[in-house]
Amino acid sequence: MTVSAVLLVTAVVWAVSLIRSVRLRAFVYSLPLPMSLALVSTGHRVEGAQLLGVLGLNLFFVVVAVTHHRLCWPILLADAAGIAGYVAFSAGLLAVPVPFAPALVGTVALWALAMLLLRRRHPAPEPAAPVTGAHSGRRLPAPVKLLVILLGATLTGLLGELLRAMVVTFPYSGVLVAVESRRDLVAFTRHFARNSLALVAFLAAYHRWQDGPPVAALAAGWVAFALVAGALHAATRVDVIRSRKSATAAG
């Protein structure tokens, strides 16, 4: 990982740590900033494996949430388990060719299925509420944050040969974001899963234009991300308004 990548990861994590709303925190993390930097700095092409890598990102947070909240593992150990899950998932993807079109269809279908299951479990999304100081827990001091970032960068470098093109979707900032969001990790994971469709749109648009200038491919990716993220936000707002009306009518 380059110095610029470390600085970018630090900026993303710092921004997330300052945000109290879990929903907004998940949105900021879902911005494809590290992904864009990885594409530009490594020259890797976006193929089917990278689309499935978005599923690997979700797998990372699910593993961390389950091991930390259900199994009561220390958060750093849960982080390590999440990274191991992502690496194993990536190694499986790199072992076989993954055509882009089937990967796109499969990823979107799995996302839709996950949203359906989450909607049945949480049928009425609640408005994002600020996290009070009593529930936010202690934040990691700056030196510890820097140490974790450097350790994550070192680990990424060591795993670079194994991950190859899958470094594009590697959870660079996710390692420390999971630590910062450990009190609300389950809700954060749910919101990130919803936002991850916008990352799929980013990668799909980049794939469409990647044979042209890199700037054009990145611009197309960001436009696609913004459009899908906006649509998801609008849908969430509609659901919140409906739930409020239903609650008022029931009251």
pLDDT, one tens digit per residue, over 132-173 is 443 444 556 767 766 766 676 666 666 665 687 788 888 878
Residue 132 included in any domain: no
The lowest-confidence range among 70-74, 97-101, 159-163, 171-175 is 159-163
What is the structure's pLDDT at 240? 66
- Cβ atoms of residues 160 and 41 within 8 Å: no
Greater pLDDT, 150 or 43 = 43
More confident residue, 10 or 21: 21
State yes or no: pLDDT of 29 exceeds 70. Answer: yes
Question: Looking at the 3D structure of the chain, how many domains does it have?
Answer: 1
- 130 in a domain, yes or no? no
Q: Quick one: CA torsion of 79, 85, 91, 95, rounded to 10 degrees?
A: -160
Compute the residue count for the chain.
251
The pair of structure tokens assigned to 247 is 């609650």
Most confident of 1-10, 120-129, 185-194: 185-194
The parent domain of residue 233 ranges over 3-125+138-250
Q: How many CB atoms lie within 10 A of CB 146?
A: 14
Mean pLDDT across the chain: 84
Kindly state whether residue 208 falls inside one of the protein's structural domains. yes
Distance in Å from the first CA to the final CA of the chain = 55
CA dihedral 34, 38, 39, 45 (to 10 degrees): -120
Q: Is residue 25 domain-resident?
A: yes
Q: What is the mean pLDDT of residues 192-219?
A: 96
Residues 74, 44 contacting (CB under 8 angstroms): no
User: Apex CA 171: angle with CA 70 and CA 9, to 5°?
Assistant: 120
pTM as predicted: 0.86
Q: What was the pLDDT predicted at 2?
A: 66
Please name the amino acid found at residue 101. Answer: A
d(CA 174, CA 165) in angstroms, rounded, equals 18
Task: Express each pLDDT in 227-238 by its tens digit.
Answer: 999 999 998 888
Does any domain span residue 69?
A: yes
Those residues whose C-beta lies under 8 Å from the C-beta of residue 7, and which sit 6 or more positions away, are none
pLDDT (mean) for 63-92: 93
Token digits of residue 111: 């996302």
Residue 123 has pLDDT above 60, yes or no: no
